A and B are shown apart, each in its own frame.
Chain A
Amino acid sequence: MKHSEYQKLLEKDKSEAQKKIFKEYLNYVYTIAFNRLRSCGSREDIDECVIDIFNDVFSSYETKPDLTDDMKGFIGTVALRKSAAYYHRLCKRSNTVSLDDEYTQDIPSAEDVSGAAETKDSRQILLRLIDSLGEPDAAIIIQKYYYGRTSREIAGFVSLSPAMVRVRCSRALKKLRKLLSENDISI
C-alpha cells in the first residue's frame, strides 16, 4: 500500500486503515524487532516493541501527511530505530553506540569491516541452505531454532501434528548440519 492510498483510507475509516497497515507490515516489523532483541529481550519485550513501533507509525502518518510514499521503507526505518532503542534499554551495560542511530552516521567505524562482510555472507549462505531444505522443513527449522517455538506452536504454522513436526525437524536438522559442514559454516 502506498502512503497516498493510506491517507485516503484514513480519512474514511481510521480503524480499517490502521488494521490494513498492521496486517500488511506486522511480519516485517516483528522480524526486525525479534532480530534485534532476540538475545536480550523476552517475548513480552518484543511484543511491546512491536506495538510501540506501530504506535509511532500511526502517529507519524497522522501528524506528518507529507511523508514518503514508500511506506515499507519508512516503517522499516521506524522499526530498526525503535528496536535499537529497546536493545539499549535492555542491554544498558553496553558501551557501544548503535550504528542505527541517526546521530552516529559520521562516527568512523571501529568494527572489522572484513569481518562484518564475512558475517553477512555467512548469513546469506545460511538462509540459502535452510531454504534448500524445502517446505515445510525450512519453516520448521526457522521456527524452532530461530524463533524458539515449541513443536506444538510450530504445528499451527505448518499444519502438521506436533509429532510430525518433531519427526521432520529431526530429519531436517541432520540434513542442515551436513550442509553447514560442507559449506564450512559453524554456528
Chain B
Amino acid sequence: MIFEDTLQKGEFCIPECDNCQKIVWPPSEICSNCFGNVHLKKGDFMGKIIEFSREGEQFFCMVEFEKSIRIMAHILSVPEIGQRVKISNCGIKNGNYFFEVS
C-alpha cells in the first residue's frame, strides 16, 4: 500500500520497514536504513506537541509520533508544549499533505 492512497482516504498510517522495523519518514517505499520494503502500520497513534506558533487566528504545531517522526499540523484549540494529541483529520489538499490534530 502506498502512504498517499491511505492518507487520501483520511487515514494516517506510519510507514515501517519489513526488515529492520525502522520507521521511514517522510514516507518512502524503501527503508532509508537497510533498503528493505516498507509496509504501512495502522493505528490510533498518540502524538506529542513539540512546538507551536500561530498565523492569524490559526495555530500550527510540530507533533512527534512514536518518538521518531514529526509533522506540522493545524490545531483548533490553544496548544501546550508536551500536550498529547491524535490526528483528527488528514488528507491531501492542492497536492500537499494536510494534518489536523486535537
Asked if chains A and B come from one complex, the reply is: no
Interface residues of B (CB under 8 A from A): none
Interface residues of A (CB under 8 A from B): none
